[in-house]
Amino acid sequence: MKQAVAIGLKIPDNTAYTALVTLRRLGVEVERVERSEIHIFDDDGDADALVQRIETDETIFNPNKHRLVLLDGEAPRSGEVWIEPIARPKGGGGRAAEAWRLFDRAGAPVGPSVLAAAIERLLCNPAIERAVTTDERSA
């Protein structure tokens, strides 16, 4: 069984803040931006064991600065895009994608049109990356 995990910062994320400011300058209606690394793990269905395994792997997780979220599936959440490299490094491993989750003024995830504008204007370089949204994963 595969399990997707988002590992994000619990300390201020300067990269996410810079993306927020830039998206606003580019005319994208966004109030907050969160960034995280997406990792896909093989697990036996034991969520607690997987969390413990990740939290003890200092190559990807530092409890002083990271927060871990087990995702419900292997797809981006509402208002989120996963930016995946087109060419994967040999041997796999490492992160599967970088996730960007955008929120509106009401604190809700942005809609598909706002997300598409953010992807096109800033978040994805189509020459080397592929943007994956919920609709694309479920298709």
Q: How far apart are CA 65 and CA 7, in angstroms?
A: 10
- The answer to whether 129 and 111 have CB atoms below 8 angstroms apart is no
- The answer to whether 110 and 24 have CB atoms below 8 angstroms apart is no
Residues, the chain, total? 139
pLDDT tens digit sequence for 82-133: 999 998 765 555 678 999 999 999 999 999 999 999 999 999 999 999 999 9
pLDDT at site 90: 59
pLDDT at site 44: 81
Q: Is 0.85 surpassed by the pTM of this model?
A: yes
Instruction: Give the residue ranges of DSSP H helices in the chain.
Output: 14-25, 47-55, 112-118, 134-138
Pull the structure tokens for residue 51.
């969390």
